[in-house]
């Protein structure tokens, strides 16, 4: 019987399980229980572990496929499908809702972890008496069982509505890529826990090639996932820009830093080598940051635009992170052989300093995140300087429950981006300098020291006389004047980044010229990664520091359905007008009230060089009348301050801008027709619609850098396949 089981491929078992759960939903829950029990068995019993984990992974993936079938077929008899989907949604968004909530995301993570645990055991990794990878997979399989993605919808819910609908903010094509890429990166990162713990207790003779490959893949996929999230955030009123140190963004940044620290030292690691302690600790910190990031996403304590509303599973993820940390400390303390072996260190001084820099950056961000949680838990007052629009809004409100709710929203803590920037910029400058020096040193010692002195002199000259950002800053953007104190460090970071990129590119060119294709295969992905990160740095900093905005009051003409306006001249060189607004019922599959409104505004724009374009902005609201709108100033605050935008939002509320992407700058046109709806309901004076124009210079550098870094990371992630095969053969 065992031989016949081995003859059945895992994909066939997954397809059969999917077919069973698609036709009989209750079987899905039963198969999840079986997968969790099998994973637990594999965690503590090495006999038959590869077969058991393969079967558990096949069952979990069958459940994922079955859940996708129920979403595609509008199976609202399942509670999870009822909560997050709608018959009106296009097929790709229905399928994306498989990971639209806590139940599906946890199931997907469990399936990924089970597959990685099975493949790791087959490759000879984690072959001890206990399997850490199997235990982590079992943890998430049991969590998926608890969350019950195949539970039936209560009859009372079905009687109230056929389905609840999708979160309007998730109704983007990016939903297909951002969430699953991040989940896959988390799974690959969690697989580093086993080799990290083995190394910390002295049981790792060499760092496994498979673990090294997985770390590279995790870094590349996480970078791509963050990139898709940045593009998404740039289009959504809940953010309005690519980054603002949301707690979940901060946690993902910590993970990215720890992965980067690990990868900068893993190549030369061996037990007992000098400076080798950072490699396993960075891997373990990255592994525990994955569940910690998921805990932050699900915990409502801090103000955040990332949240699984109503989810209470954060304690499960936090518990796993604590267990991994305690296990790491226990392994390190129990290690007996602490002697340093003779020979070269685990990494050169340049790579060692890079590891320290990334570790310092990750710890600084984690400390700020912990401080925010502590401040909120202790009820510490949030300083007034973090509430730039609160005083204005208080003057506009007569009082009552909304004013109290607004004060609570602005009093809720989040990560202080300015403090974190001050902590991160100095290590960033050091990382750029060390990186450039390292690559130039691989060509010659004299070149490295000469170029380092020139780069330092250029950075100091910029700090004294005013660099690119200092001279270009006009104070007309959406950020506080607190950024003025950071401008010299920002300029120094740009110089350091340019030095790093120059060193890497020169080294890559020389290596490719000397070694031919072999040199290209090694140097080009490294050059793409480092140059991409530098472009991300340049684009992000210039967009954040030099952005500007303007606001205009438009008086629409004509009826409500064909409202237009005259041409308006913007100080950024654009001339635009409303060419019409089409209203209709909000029946596009998003969560809605009884009479939700959906409006598409057509905008005609003439550029600074005479070019003509047109496009549309989207507005939707689950309410037929926007109760909170009572004047242009509040609308301006909504479009400029993401915290206020979160305050006024409802589950069916959405506002998307028209965006003109260019190499020199990206421009957003934000127009909300809420005033038209209020005027139509009240039959009063002609409404005033506010248009806000935001300009972000050189965002194209950020997008280009993200693509380069992700492609370079993907290329580099494919190289260790040969190492993994050699390790298995040995």
What percent of the chain clears pLDDT 70, i.e. is strictly above it?
89
Our CA dihedral for 348, 187, 174, 21, rounded to 10 degrees, sits at: 160
Tokens of 470: 């200092």
pLDDT, tens digit, 9 for 90 and up, residues 504-516: 999 888 888 887 7
Closest-CA residue to 46 (of 116, 111, 122):
122
Our CA dihedral for 647, 648, 654, 655, rounded to 10 degrees, sits at: -100
Closest-CA residue to 110 (of 37, 174, 44, 25):
37
Beta pairing partners, 384: none
Q: Give whole-number Cα distances, 630 to 388, 397, 534, 560, in Å.
A: 20, 9, 45, 18
Closest-CA residue to 641 (of 414, 402, 404, 389):
389
**pLDDT level of residue 268 (50, 70, 90 thresholds):** confident
Element containing residue 463 per DSSP (H, E): helix 445-465
As a whole number of angstroms, the distance between CA 551 and CA 586 comes to 28
DSSP calls for 359-398: HHHHHHHHHHHHHHHHHHHHTPPPPGGG-TTHHHHHHH--
Report yes or no: 220 and 714 within 8 Å, Cβ to Cβ. Answer: yes
Q: Residue 727 above 60 pLDDT?
A: no
Q: Residue 726 above 50 pLDDT?
A: no
Burial (Cβ within 10 Å: 0-12, 13-18, ≥19) of residue 101: buried
As a whole number of angstroms, the distance between CA 62 and CA 111 comes to 9
284-298, 304-318, 393-407, 618-632 — which is least confidently predicted?
618-632
| Mean pLDDT within 5-26 | 83
Tokens of 79: 């509670």
Q: Residue 557 above 80 pLDDT?
A: no
pLDDT of residue 1: 41
pLDDT of residue 142: 96
pLDDT of residue 512: 83
pLDDT, tens digit, 9 for 90 and up, residues 77-93: 999 999 999 998 999 99
DSSP calls for 634-677: HHHHHHH-HHHHHHH--TT-EEE-EEEE-SSEEEEEEE-THHHH
As a whole number of angstroms, the distance between CA 129 and CA 573 comes to 69
As a whole number of angstroms, the distance between CA 709 and CA 705 comes to 6
| pTM greater than 0.85 (yes/no) | yes
Q: Residue 679 above 80 pLDDT?
A: no
pLDDT of residue 3: 47
| Mean pLDDT within 660-666 | 85
pLDDT, tens digit, 9 for 90 and up, residues 570-623: 888 888 888 888 887 777 777 766 667 788 888 888 887 777 778 888 888 776
pLDDT, tens digit, 9 for 90 and up, residues 462-482: 767 777 788 777 777 777 667
| Mean pLDDT within 28-48 | 92
**pLDDT level of residue 422 (50, 70, 90 thresholds):** confident
pLDDT of residue 276: 78
| Mean pLDDT within 674-680 | 65
Q: Residue 724 above 90 pLDDT?
A: no
Report yes or no: 187 and 116 within 8 Å, Cβ to Cβ. Answer: yes
- Return all residues near 318 (Cβ < 8 A) that are at least 6 apart: 291, 292, 295
Cα angle for residues 134, 138, 140 (degrees, 5° grid): 120
Cα angle for residues 197, 199, 202 (degrees, 5° grid): 110
Longest Cα pair distance anywhere in the chain, in angstroms?
86
| Mean pLDDT within 533-546 | 86
| Residue, of 361 and 726, whose pLDDT is higher | 361
Q: In what order do the strands lie in the sheet with 665-671?
A: 548-554, 689-697, 665-671, 658-661
Q: Give whole-number Cα distances, 226 to 172, 213, 345, 594, 725, in Å.
A: 15, 20, 33, 36, 30
pLDDT of residue 255: 97
As a whole number of angstroms, the distance between CA 325 and CA 329 comes to 6
Q: Residue 326 above 90 pLDDT?
A: yes
Report yes or no: 581 and 602 within 8 Å, Cβ to Cβ. Answer: yes
| Residue, of 650 and 373, whose pLDDT is higher | 373
pLDDT, tens digit, 9 for 90 and up, residues 623-650: 655 555 556 677 777 777 777 777 777 7
pLDDT of residue 56: 95
Q: Residue 5 above 60 pLDDT?
A: no
Closest-CA residue to 169 (of 610, 654, 636):
654
pLDDT of residue 343: 55
What percent of the chain clears pLDDT 90, i.e. is strictly above it?
34
Cα angle for residues 282, 286, 290 (degrees, 5° grid): 170
Q: Residue 729 above 70 pLDDT?
A: no
Report yes or no: 365 and 420 within 8 Å, Cβ to Cβ. Answer: yes
Closest-CA residue to 626 (of 562, 685, 556, 673):
673
Q: What are phi and psi of 720, to 5 degrees?
A: -70, 0
| Residue, of 399 and 35, whose pLDDT is higher | 35
As a whole number of angstroms, the distance between CA 53 and CA 46 comes to 11
pLDDT of residue 21: 92
Q: Token match 């070269």: residue? A: 344
As a whole number of angstroms, the distance between CA 640 and CA 553 comes to 15
As a whole number of angstroms, the distance between CA 280 and CA 360 comes to 16
- Half-sphere exposure (Cβ direction) of 387: Cα atoms closer than 13 Å: 18
Per the prediction, the chain carries an average pLDDT of 84
pLDDT of residue 338: 60
SS3 of residue 82 by DSSP: helix
Long-range own/partner contacts, residues 572-576 (CB < 8 A, 24 or more apart) = 572/548, 572/608, 572/667, 572/693, 572/695, 573/607, 573/608, 574/605, 574/606, 574/607, 574/608, 574/667, 574/693, 575/605, 575/606, 576/603, 576/604, 576/605, 576/606, 576/669, 576/691, 576/693
SS3 of residue 45 by DSSP: coil
As a whole number of angstroms, the distance between CA 706 and CA 129 comes to 42
pLDDT of residue 719: 65
- Half-sphere exposure (Cβ direction) of 469: Cα atoms closer than 13 Å: 28
Closest-CA residue to 439 (of 494, 495, 498):
498
pLDDT of residue 630: 57
**pLDDT level of residue 730 (50, 70, 90 thresholds):** very low
pLDDT of residue 245: 87
| Mean pLDDT within 534-553 | 86
Report yes or no: 691 and 576 within 8 Å, Cβ to Cβ. Answer: yes
pLDDT of residue 83: 92
């Amino acid at each position: 019987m065992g031989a016949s089981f081995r003859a059945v491929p895992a994909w066939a078992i997954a397809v059969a399980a999917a077919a069973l759960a698609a036709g009989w939903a209750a079987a899905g829950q039963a198969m999840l229980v079986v997968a969790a029990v099998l994973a637990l068995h594999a965690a503590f019993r090495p006999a038959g572990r590869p077969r058991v984990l393969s079967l558990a992974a096949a069952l979990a993936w069958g459940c994922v496929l079955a859940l996708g079938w129920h979403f595609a077929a509008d199976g609202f008899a399942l509670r999870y499908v009822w909560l997050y989907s709608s018959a009106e949604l296009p097929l790709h968004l229905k399928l994306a809702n498989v990971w639209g909530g806590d139940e599906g995301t946890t199931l997907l993570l469990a399936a990924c972890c089970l597959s990685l645990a099975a493949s790791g055991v087959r490759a000879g990794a984690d072959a001890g008496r206990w399997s850490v990878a199997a235990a982590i997979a079992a943890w998430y399989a049991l969590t998926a069982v608890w969350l019950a993605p195949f539970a039936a919808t209560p009859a009372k819910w079905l009687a109230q509505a056929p389905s609840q609908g999708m979160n309007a903010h998730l109704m983007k094509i990016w939903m297909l890529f951002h969430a699953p890429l991040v989940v896959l990166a988390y799974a690959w990162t969690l697989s580093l826990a086993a080799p990290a713990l083995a190394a910390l207790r002295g049981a790792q003779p060499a760092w496994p090639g498979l673990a090294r490959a997985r770390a590279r893949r995790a870094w590349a996929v996480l970078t791509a996932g963050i990139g898709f999230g940045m593009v998404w955030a740039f289009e959504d009123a809940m953010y309005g820009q690519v980054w603002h140190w949301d707690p979940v963004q901060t946690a993902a940044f910590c993970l990215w830093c720890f992965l980067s620290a690990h990868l900068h030292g893993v190549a030369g690691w061996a037990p007992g080598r000098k400076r080798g302690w950072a490699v396993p600790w960075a891997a373990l910190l990255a592994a525990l940051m994955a569940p910690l990031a998921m805990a932050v996403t699900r915990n409502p304590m801090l103000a955040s635009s990332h949240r699984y509303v109503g989810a209470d599973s954060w304690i499960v993820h936090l518990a796993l992170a604590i267990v991994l940390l305690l296990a790491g400390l226990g392994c390190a303390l129990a290690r007996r052989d602490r002697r340093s072996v003779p020979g070269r260190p685990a990494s050169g001084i340049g790579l060692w300093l890079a590891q320290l820099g990334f570790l310092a950056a990750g710890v600084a961000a984690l400390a700020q995140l912990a401080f925010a949680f502590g401040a909120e838990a202790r009820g510490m007052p949030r300083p007034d300087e973090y509430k730039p629009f609160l005083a204005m809004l208080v003057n506009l409100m007569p009082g009552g429950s909304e004013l109290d709710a607004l004060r609570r929203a602005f009093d809720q803590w989040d990560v202080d981006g300015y403090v974190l920037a001050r902590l991160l910029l100095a290590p960033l400058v050091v990382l750029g300098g060390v990186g450039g020096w390292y690559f130039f040193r691989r060509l010659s010692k004299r070149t490295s020291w000469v170029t380092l002195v020139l780069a330092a002199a250029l950075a100091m000259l910029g700090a004294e006389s005013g660099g690119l950002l200092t001279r270009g800053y006009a104070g007309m953007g959406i950020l506080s004047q607190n950024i003025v104190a950071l401008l010299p460090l920002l300029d120094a970071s740009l110089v350091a980044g340019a030095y790093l990129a120059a060193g890497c590119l020169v080294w890559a060119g020389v290596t490719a010229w000397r070694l031919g294709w072999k040199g290209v295969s090694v140097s080009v992905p490294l050059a793409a990664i480092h140059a991409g990160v530098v472009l991300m740095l340049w684009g992000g900093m210039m967009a954040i520091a030099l952005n500007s905005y303007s606001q205009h009051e438009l008086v629409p003409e004509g009826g409500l359905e064909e409202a237009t306006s005259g041409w308006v001249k913007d100080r950024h060189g654009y001339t635009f007008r409303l060419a019409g607004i089409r209203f209709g019922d909000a029946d596009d599959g998003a969560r809605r009230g009884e009479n939700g409104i959906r409006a598409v505004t057509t905008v005609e724009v003439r550029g600074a060089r005479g070019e003509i374009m047109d496009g549309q902005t989207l507005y939707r609201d689950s309410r037929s009348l926007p109760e909170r709108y009572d004047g242009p100033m509040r609308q301006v605050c909504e479009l400029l301050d993401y915290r206020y935008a979160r305050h006024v939002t409802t589950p069916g509320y959405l506002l998307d801008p028209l965006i003109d992407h260019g190499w020199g700058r990206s421009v957003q046109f934000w127009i909300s027709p809420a005033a038209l709806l209020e005027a139509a309901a009240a039959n009063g004076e002609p409404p005033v619609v506010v248009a806000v124009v935001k300009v972000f210079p050189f965002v194209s550098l950020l997008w280009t850098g993200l693509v380069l870094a992700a492609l370079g990371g993907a290329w580099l992630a494919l190289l260790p396949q040969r190492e993994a095969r050699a390790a298995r053969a040995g």
